[in-house]
């Protein structure tokens, strides 16, 4: 039986492949979903990838994961830097939560240097393109259930 993992994506991540490819790469959102599902299956995970531009929906998904003790890989997008509602929902986690970023926030604009999510995450992976998700899934596979 495989272990469920949610891969949650915040605003603008559905535009991967067309949105600033010099920053976010050329892999499409569909390519990201496929990469996460394929590696997840190799690691014994049932990976479900979701994307929303709605802060409230992300909060609801974090509550759902907390209630079910489901591990999370999350790229909060711009919500990373200011969403205390998302931070408070992430703090309720009952399983590992790994924050991911495709780009390296510290190599970008100053406002991106702060994450309100990082302090309540199990860890953060950033700056490795789509591989940030793969590294996060591999890290989850090494953590106790």
Q: Residue 103 is part of a domain; what is its CATH number?
A: 3.40.50.9100
Number of separate domains in the chain = 1
Hey, is 129 helix, strand or coil? Answer: coil
Return the number of other C-beta atoms located less than 10 Å from residue 23's C-beta: 12
Q: Is there a contact between 8 and 48 (Cβ–Cβ < 8 Å)?
A: no
Provide block-wise average pLDDT over 10 residues at a time, the chain (145 residues). 89 67 65 94 97 96 97 94 94 97 77 85 94 97 85
As separate numbers, helices (DSSP H) first and strands (DSSP E) second, the chain gives: 5, 5
Question: pTM of the full predicted structure?
Answer: 0.89
Hey, is 91 helix, strand or coil? Answer: coil
Catalytic residues: 24, 101
Answer yes or no: is 102 a known binding residue.
yes
- Residue ranges making up the domain that contains 74: 3-142
Which pLDDT score, from 0 to 100, does residue 16 have? Answer: 61
Answer yes or no: is 88 a known binding residue.
yes
């Amino acid at each position: 039986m495989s272990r469920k993992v949610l891969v949650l994506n915040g605003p603008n991540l559905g535009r991967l492949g067309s949105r600033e490819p010099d920053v976010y790469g050329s892999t499409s959102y569909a390519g990201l979903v496929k990469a996460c599902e394929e590696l997840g299956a190799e690691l014994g995970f049932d990976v479900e990838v979701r994307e929303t531009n709605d802060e409230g929906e992300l909060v609801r998904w974090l509550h759902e994961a907390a209630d079910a003790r489901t591990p999370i890989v999350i790229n909060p997008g711009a919500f990373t830097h200011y969403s205390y509602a998302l931070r408070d929902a992430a703090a309720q986690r009952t399983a590992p939560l790994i924050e991911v970023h495709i780009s390296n926030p510290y190599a970008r604009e100053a406002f991106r240097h702060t994450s309100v999510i990082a302090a309540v995450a199990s860890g953060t992976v950033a700056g490795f393109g789509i591989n940030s998700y793969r590294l996060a899934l591999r890290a989850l596979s090494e953590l106790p259930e």
